[in-house]
Amino acid sequence: MRESTLQDAPPTMASLPSWPEEGPRRSLLTEARFAQALYKEGFEFVQELQFLRSIGTDGWMERRLYALYRKSTDIETFLDDHGAPANQTFFMTRELIAGARWLSLACSCLVHLRSRLKAYPQANLEWAQARLPDHLQVAIDCFGSYLVKCAEGISEEWVRLGLPWPENAQSSVASHAAPKLILPANRLPEADERAEAGQQASLPAARLVGRVLRLLNIWAPLRGVGTGTHEERQSFMENFCSEATARDFESRVHNLQSEYDSNIRGSAEEKEHADLLRLRGGISQCLHLLEAVTALTHLYERHQVHQRHPATRRVLARIVDWEEYLRITIECCILPAFFSLSHAEDVVAGLLKILTVQSFRDFEIPDGVSLHARPLSLIVGIVHHFGLPVEIEIHGKRASAASMMSMLILCGSHLDAKSVRFHGDAAVLTDLEDLFEARLGEDGLEAFPPRLKYLIR
C-alpha cells in the first residue's frame, strides 16, 4: 500500500475556491425594451385579433377562435413572466388579453356547436332545431361583442405603448375555406371488421346509459332554481356553478363522450339501437356548452369574485356588463347544457329497458354480519363497477345502492333486518350474490371469488 500524500487528502474548507462576493443579479428591463419584445412576441396574436375584429360573428370559425385562445395564452404567460401584472404601464394590456383569452375560448366552443348542430342526431328535435340555436346565437353575439371590445381596448393600449397595430385584417392561420358540414348521410361506410370487433354484449352501452342517468340525478337540484334577478343569479353561480363545479361536470360529460366513442361507436348495439346515437348527440351538445361555461366561469370568478384589487376590476368593468354576462351565461349556456342532456331522459329510460334485464333478488344477511360502512362500501363498489342503476330495499323502503349515505341511512333505520332485496340488472345482482356468499368481506377479501377481484384493486 502506497503512502498517502497531501494530494490524496480530501479538500478542506480552506482549500476550496471562494464564492464571488456578489452573484449574478437579475437586471431590470426598461419599459421601452420590454415593449419591443412584447411587439415581437405578440405579432401573430394581434394579427389574429385584428382579423376577427374585421368580420362579424357570423363569419367566425372555431379553429380561428381557438388559435386566438392559444396565442393569447402564450402572450399572457409572457407578460406574467416579466412582471406585467404589477407594472402600471403594462397592467392594462395584460388584463385585456386575459379577458380576450377566456372569451375566445368560450366563443370557440359555442361556434363549434353552432356549426355541428345539424350533424348531431337529436334526442329532442324541437329543442335542438327551434330553441337551442337561438340560445347559441344570443350567447355568441353577447360574448363575441365583449371579445371585440377587448380587442379594441388592446389596440388602444398597443398604440399607447408606441407599437404599430396592423391596418389590414390578415390572419396568421392559414386561410383555407371552411370545411363542409358533415351530415350523417355523408358518413363513409365502416369496415365490416370493425363491426365484428365491437362489443358482443350490451353491457358497455348499458353502463353508459346508467352513468348518464346518474349524472342527471346529480343535476336534479337545478330544476326550479330561481335565476330571475341578478342576486339570484349570483347565488346560483356560487351554489351550483363555481369554476370547480363547472370543470367537474365538463370532465364527467367528456368522459361520457369518450366512453361512447371508445366502446360503443361501430358496435352491433349502435346499429341495432338508433337511440344510442341520439343520446350521443345530447352528450356532445352538453359538452360543448359546458366547455364554454368553464371558460366564462373562470373569467367571472377571477374578476368579480376573487379579485379584490379595484384597479383590476375596473379594466373589464369598462367592457363587460356583468349583470348581462351572468344572465346570458346561465340562460344561454348552463341551463341549455342541462336541457341538452335532460331532454334525453325518455331515451335513457327506453334504452335501459332494452339493454338491461331488470330483476330483483333477496339476500339473507350472514350471521354475525351487519350492514355497516365497510360491507356497504363493497356494495357501492360493485354498483359503480357496472354503472347501472340499482336499488336496495328493506321492509318496503328503497334507496340507491350507488349512494353510501343513502344506504347508511336506510340500514341504520332497520337494524333488525335479516334480509335485503336488490333491484337492478341481472349481471349486477349476480356479483352481489357472490359478495353475500363471501360474507360481505367480513372474513377477509382474499376469500372473494375471482369475479370480484376488481373490488380489491
* Nearest alpha carbon to residue 279 among 209, 354, 338: 209
**Sign of the dihedral defined by the CA atoms of residues 387, 388, 389, 395, in that order:** negative
The C-alpha atoms of residue 110 and residue 360 are separated, in whole angstroms, by 44
Distances (CA, A) of 124 to 120, 191, 380: 11, 30, 33
Which single residue is written with the C-alpha cell 377566456?
102
201's grid cell: 354484449
| pLDDT for 315 | 87
DSSP state of 421: E
Cell representation of residue 350: 327506453
CATH of 356-456 among 3.30.365.10, 3.30.70.3270, 3.40.50.300, 3.30.1340.10: 3.30.1340.10
Beta-bridge partners for 423: 360, 391
Q: How many residues does the chain have?
A: 457
Q: Is 456 helix (H, G, I), strand (E, B) or coil?
A: helix
Q: What is the pLDDT along the chain (457 residues), one digit of tens a residue?
A: 344 443 444 444 445 455 455 555 556 778 888 999 999 999 999 999 998 888 888 889 999 999 999 999 999 999 999 888 888 899 999 999 999 999 999 999 999 999 998 888 888 888 888 899 999 999 999 999 999 999 999 999 999 999 998 876 555 544 444 444 444 444 445 444 433 443 345 578 888 988 898 888 888 888 888 888 999 999 999 988 999 999 999 999 999 999 999 989 888 888 889 899 999 999 999 999 999 999 999 999 988 776 667 777 788 889 999 999 999 999 999 999 999 998 888 899 898 888 888 889 999 999 888 899 999 999 999 998 888 889 999 999 999 998 899 999 999 998 888 999 999 888 899 999 999 998 988 888 777 888 888 887 6
244's torsion region: left (phi>0), alpha (psi -120 to 50) or beta? alpha
Taking the C-alpha atoms of residue 122 and residue 345, their distance in angstroms, rounded to an integer, is: 12
Output the pLDDT for position 86: 87
Contact 142, 19 (CB under 8 A): no
**What would the grid cell of residue 76 be?**
399572457
Query: Within the chain, what is the greatest distance between any pair of CA atoms?
Result: 97
**DSSP single-letter state for residue 171:** -
Cell representation of residue 105: 375560448
Show the beta-strand stretches assigned E in 167-246: none
* 442 DSSP assignment: T
Report the pLDDT value the prediction gives residue 27, as an integer from 0 to 100: 63
pLDDT value of residue 456? 77
pLDDT for 345 equals 87
Sign of the CA dihedral running 433, 437, 442, 447:
negative
Instruction: Give me the residue label for grid cell 325518455.
Output: 346
Count of CB atoms within 10 A of residue 272's CB? Answer: 11
- Which positions ≥6 away from 80 have C-beta within 8 Å? 94
**Every domain of the chain and the residues it spans:** 31-164+197-351, 356-456
pTM value is 0.79
Sheet holding 419-425, edge to edge: 358-364, 419-425, 391-394, 397-400
